[in-house]
Amino acid sequence: MNRAVLGVLVSGRGSNLQAILDAIQAERLRAKIGVVISDTPGALALKRVAGFDIATTVIERKKFADRRSFEQAIAAELQLHHVELVVLAGFMRILSSEFIGHFPGRIMNIHPALLPAFPGLDAQAQAVRYGVKVSGCTVHFVDEGVDTGPIILQEAVPVLDGDDEHSLAERILHVEHKLYPRAIGLFCEGRLRTEGRRVIITEKR
Ligand code: GAR
């Protein structure tokens, strides 16, 4: 089986990128990172792949006249590297339907809450403020909405009485690092079938 080519979009720390990289290195994930694209120069995420044979590119929004040309530059870079699955790993921008149309059913995101609860920014702080006893993380396909696409995997994490947004974020992040490589692996094995809003995980062939 060939390795699916991933294009990873990042904005910052890149701990999920690291988890994906580790899973590939350990042969737990049969995939290949074709390119890492950051919208932020100097992002720690970029340093994580230094020393590997992985292309990296910085594409900054402010270097482009409008969002459309910015996104076109990202799409062109992904296509140049023959990316089959676009992986948003702490990429803090909303993508337009035009961009999504370039990669139908082939863009994944991880969100630090149990969607549809607490979409958008600062999901962990939203959860603490609301007072939920359980939160978690969600891997989903990206559609035109904000964190609204079909859900692939979710895992719950307890919210403890003493939690603030930071302690909760850390507990959730630990689970994200297992869940994201697993979801990507299911895609790479051709085991995800989307029926309307539902993503069916098919048996291993
Ligand atoms: C992760 O917690 C991820 O779920 C979240 O940003 C963090 C990125 O961390 N993403 C979002 O909130 C997207 N709406 P990382 O850069 O260390 O992977």
Domain boundaries, the chain: 1-104, 109-205
Confidence class for position 71, pLDDT limits 50, 70, 90: very high
The total number of residues shown for the chain amounts to: 205
Distance 1 CA to ligand 1 centre (A): 30
In tens, the pLDDT along 122-136 reads 999 999 999 999 999
Distance 70 CA to ligand 1 centre (A): 21
Closest CA to 108 of 81, 132, 89: 89
For helices 15-25 and 165-188, give the axis angle rounded to 10 degrees: 40
The average pLDDT across 32-39 equals 98
What's 109-205's CATH class?
alpha beta
Domains 1-104 and 109-205 share a fold: yes
The average pLDDT across 115-123 equals 98
Q: Is the pLDDT of residue 103 over 70?
A: yes
Closest CA to 107 of 71, 58, 134: 71
Annotated ligand binding at 109? The verdict is yes
| Superfamily (CATH) of domain 1-104 | Formyl transferase, N-terminal domain (3.40.50.170)
Name the pTM for this structure. Answer: 0.97
Confidence class for position 204, pLDDT limits 50, 70, 90: confident
Structure tokens that stand for 159 in this block? 């919210």
Residues 180/183/188/193 CA torsion (nearest 10 deg): -150
Structure tokens that stand for 161 in this block? 């009485």
Instruction: Spell out the alpha helix ranges (H) of the chain.
Output: 15-25, 44-48, 67-80, 97-102, 123-130, 165-188
Tell me which H or E stretch contains 103.
none
Q: How does the average pLDDT of the chain come out, rounded? A: 97
Q: Is the pLDDT of residue 74 over 70?
A: yes
The average pLDDT across 44-62 equals 96
Q: Is the pLDDT of residue 2 over 90?
A: no
Which residue's CA lies nearest to atom 17 of ligand 1? Answer: 15
pLDDT, position 201:
98
Residues with CB under 6 A from ligand 1: 12-16, 89-90, 110-112, 123, 173, 176
Distance 90 CA to ligand 1 centre (A): 4
Which residue's CA lies nearest to atom 12 of ligand 1? Answer: 111
Q: Which positions are catalytic?
A: 111
In tens, the pLDDT along 156-201 reads 999 999 999 999 999 999 999 999 999 999 999 999 999 999 999 9
Q: Is the pLDDT of residue 9 over 90?
A: yes
Annotated ligand binding at 2? The verdict is no
Q: Is the pLDDT of residue 67 over 90?
A: yes
